[in-house]
Structure 1
Amino acid sequence: MRNRRALALGLTVTALLAGSLPATASAAHRAAPGQGTPAAQNATRCPQLSKDLTWYGHNRAKLQRTIDERGTCGNPGLADGHGRAPVAAFDWDNTMTKNDVTDATIEWSLLHDKVLRPARWRDTSKWLTPAADRALTTACGTSVPVGAPLPTSTDADCADEILEIRGEARTMGGEEAFAGTWNHRHTVPEYAWVPQLFAGHTDAELRSYAAAGRKAALAAPVGSTQKIGTHTVPAYVRYYAQQKDLVRTLRRAGFDVYIVSAGSEPVTEVWSESVGFDRDHTIAIRSLLDHGKITYGMQGCGDVPDSKGEAIPYIDGKRCWINQEIFHIKGAEAWRLQDPAHRIALGGGDADTDVTFVNDATGAHLAINRNKNELMCRGYDNADDRWVVNPMFIEPLPRKSGGYPCATAAYINTDGVLGPVRRPDGTVVPDQRDRIHG
């Protein structure tokens, strides 16, 4: 088991508290662009977001206000090391990049025969159904020795079955791939299945596959696709220039910036390091190791012990991992909303898996619009006047027809049943139109 964060205690102790927002700053945050705090009026002295990069509407100004309020410009003590560093946290896939780097790694690995044959497919996930076990066994065969690479570069049926189960949680025959009981705000089996697919490899090997996939994805033209089996998938990934600039500006303003992803940690680390994130600032699914090799097990969070994926950084799980790893809040308390002094100042994400930690932010909530119901309901409702909704920076989606069913079926309950999205006071968020899109 890895526990690298212990090495970072000395570095992150000043980040234990995000600092509550002064009452005067709250009013200033709601001011129209061009007005605002004394810090904003002295913007030439504050780290600034690039004006050469396009943001939707007044979003750059909204984010800049939070940087000015919470960073070194609004809190001079941060500059001389006497203040408490505010924390910012971002999802990775489709938030920091266009397209999913975990998928890019899986796809490269399938094209290069890097998935090892398990003894029994049903061992890979505690929720894998008998139908999925049969489908994988039939498609991938039993002639390859256990622990040897499956020939997925030439065996289209095997590659197809793996991609379908990973992406759609069903078999190529349309049967459910995962079943049973799990907390739907703590985990999702098809996400947890990704590092389980790489069982038998070392972290270093998985990092090398991610690096090779990264090289190929960055070289592929924007908009390009590739075919694996019968699946047509994106061939390219791009870093968002606006997000790189946002992270750079936050750091210059004294923020402690983290990635929190529902991908496999070695994969996310390969991509995040080029934006200046070290391993201690990259949080994702952490596989348990046996003699240095990845197993089907994963580290737990809070009061949820190590398991086969019961508590990954997913919806409320992202809050737990942030509370545990950044603010050092342990046990069951790590799952709960903390006081403003123990919460991130700025959070950014693109999907419902990000909604809890992004909503927890006390300064600004950045939502990249990928038409995900719960996140966009909260973004458009804008209950605290601090949401920043932005279309994807590359190939943005068009307006979602019909809008978002916030009042009836956008909140994911722990049992997976959909229900209404509620504000902190219990009132129901009304249905929302998709107003900010490509």
Structure 2
Amino acid sequence: MSRPTTRRRIQAAGAAALIAAGGLTAAGPARAAQPACTTPKLAAGWYGDNQARLQQLIDRYGSCDPHRPGRAKPVAVFDWDNTVVKNDVGDATMFWLLRNGKVRQPAGGDWTTTSRHLTPAAAQALAAACGPLARPGTPLPTGTPEGAACADEINAVYGTATTRTGATAFAGWDRRTTEPGYAWLAQLTQGWTANEVRGFAAAARTENLAAPIGTKQQVGTGTATGWVRYYDQQRDLIGKLQRAGFDVWISSASPQPVVEVWARGVGIDAAHVIGIRNTTSRDGRLTAHLQGCGSVPDGADTMTTYIDGKRCWINKEVFGVRGRAAEKVQPPARRQVFAAGDSDTDISFLRDATGLRLVLNRNKNELMCRAYDNSDGKWIVNPMFLEPKKQKTSPYPCSTTGYVDHDGTAGPVRRGDTSIVPDQTDTVF
């Protein structure tokens, strides 16, 4: 047995003297009472008992000491458009691109190269409106009077999925894994670098945040929504989740570089954003093809961050699941504890959340059927924080047509045990 060093013997003797004098206890120095350690508290502004339910989630899964070593972080995932912000940052970017002439003429003037789902009728309409205006690969003058018809045609295809004459613009897509109009915005950024697109998004963000609520902007010969606002309640919730040690992510069907710019405003970095992602060429420019997920390879353009595609991308990027397995529901330990969304786009990743699911009511059939059915007690519904929807006067058609299948066929909404969800009355508005 080794002997204590002289220094250690002196320290021990000094400590014993202090204990005898009452300055120390045998357990250590006398300390002033410390305040109790509590998890962050949410600000007010929520409907009904939603604030209390969200606080319970934070208290249960979070920590007052989020940096505790060895602690696995609970995951929270938010949709972006109309969930964290009012209005759509993808729309805001598209309108900015058109007003500022940043959409490029496609290669060979062939608009089918911009989307594998674009119909011949839409490609012909776009070629007629835009073809004479610019050489292939160069920006179209959609912000000028001579380019207004081209802007109108692009905006019609993007916003209504039809041409200006009413012809169907997209065909042949899986309704549970992609939405071709959303994807087309990302595809129309071809020829720019991701950093350039971030610059476009930043300019659109500045304009839309500065514009008064209700502002309309001119796009082509028409008008479009011209303002966006962050929801204070969601900004607070995200911040409090982060302070409590949650790993907070965004999953959006807007383009990746666009959402990266907006997400900084709520303290979420680019590494925690999952948007629609283009492939890139050797020189670093975005192409009109998209990255894939699960069994879908890059360039197939059929597995974006939309319904089941959001599940795949979250499993891939957040939980490291690779290959076809990423398309499947994972065991509870490999799923998000909390999820928030506002649209049918968000159904699958909301259902995957194991602790609590927040829905902002925008009167979307399948989502509201599941939220109001609340079969496992983990769904909460909140009106939109700005300009909430009025009450839907007729019941949601859950038992008949509330669900849209992969091929577009409408049918009943079914629970996990295959039982049919009855029609639901709109009660939170």
Partner Cα distance (1:393, 1:208) in 2: 28
Offset, 1:232: 2.6
Partner Cα distance (2:96, 2:311) in 1: 31
Residue number among 190, 196, 209 corresponding to 1:218 in the alignment = 209
SS of alignment partner, residue 357 of structure 2: strand
Partner residue in 1 for 2:23: none
Q: Does the aligned pair in 2 maintain the 1:189–1:309 contact within 8 Å?
A: no
SS of alignment partner, residue 132 of structure 2: coil
Partner residue in 1 for 2:136: 146
Q: Does the aligned pair in 1 maintain the 2:292–2:300 contact within 8 Å?
A: no
Partner residue in 2 for 1:314: 306
Mark the runs of 5 or more structure 1 residues left unpaired by the alignment: 1-41
**Normalising by the residue count of structure 2, what TM-score does the alignment of the two structures yield?**
0.88
Residue number among 378, 385, 401 corresponding to 2:377 in the alignment = 385
Partner residue in 2 for 1:279: 270
Partner residue in 2 for 1:64: 55
Partner residue in 2 for 1:111: 99
Q: Does the aligned pair in 2 maintain the 1:399–1:436 contact within 8 Å?
A: yes
Q: Does the aligned pair in 1 maintain the 2:81–2:89 contact within 8 Å?
A: yes
Matches within 5 A, 1:60-209: 60-72=51-63, 79-118=67-106, 119=108, 120-154=110-144, 155-180=147-172, 182-209=173-200
Partner Cα distance (1:84, 1:144) in 2: 54
Partner residue in 1 for 2:19: none
Offset, 1:304: 1.0
Partner Cα distance (1:379, 1:422) in 2: 12
**Normalising by the residue count of structure 1, what TM-score does the alignment of the two structures yield?**
0.87
Offset, 1:43: 9.4
1:343 counterpart = 2:326: no
Partner residue in 1 for 2:357: 365
Partner residue in 2 for 1:248: 239
Specify whether residues 178 and 159 from structure 1 end up closer, same or farther in structure 2 by C-alpha distance, changes over 3 A only: same
1:399 counterpart = 2:387: no
SS of alignment partner, residue 142 of structure 1: helix
Offset, 1:79: 4.6
Q: Does the aligned pair in 2 maintain the 1:296–1:308 contact within 8 Å?
A: no
Partner Cα distance (2:137, 2:428) in 1: 48
Partner Cα distance (2:301, 2:426) in 1: 34
Offset, 1:183: 2.0
CA RMSD of aligned residues (A): 1.4
Specify whether residues 143 and 50 from structure 1 end up closer, same or farther in structure 2 by C-alpha distance, changes over 3 A only: closer
Q: Which has the larger radius of gyration?
A: 2
Counterpart code for 2:200: Y
Partner Cα distance (2:188, 2:325) in 1: 32
4+ residue segments displaced more than 6 Å: none
Partner Cα distance (2:164, 2:37) in 1: 57
Partner residue in 1 for 2:224: 233
Report percent identity of matched pairs. 52
Q: Does the aligned pair in 1 maintain the 2:186–2:288 contact within 8 Å?
A: yes
Partner Cα distance (1:266, 1:341) in 2: 30
Mark the runs of 5 or more structure 2 residues left unpaired by the alignment: 1-34
Q: Does the aligned pair in 2 maintain the 1:346–1:363 contact within 8 Å?
A: yes
Give a deviation string over 1:203-258, Cα, whole Å, max 9, x none.
Answer: 11111110000000001001111232343321100000000000001011110000
Counterpart code for 1:316: D
Partner residue in 2 for 1:29: none
- Number of matched residues? 390
Q: Does the aligned pair in 1 maintain the 2:87–2:228 contact within 8 Å?
A: yes
Partner residue in 2 for 1:268: 259
Counterpart code for 2:81: D
Specify whether residues 188 and 136 from structure 1 end up closer, same or farther in structure 2 by C-alpha distance, changes over 3 A only: same
Partner residue in 2 for 1:23: none
Partner Cα distance (2:330, 2:142) in 1: 46
Offset, 1:46: 1.8
Counterpart code for 1:388: I
Specify whether residues 125 and 62 from structure 1 end up closer, same or farther in structure 2 by C-alpha distance, changes over 3 A only: same
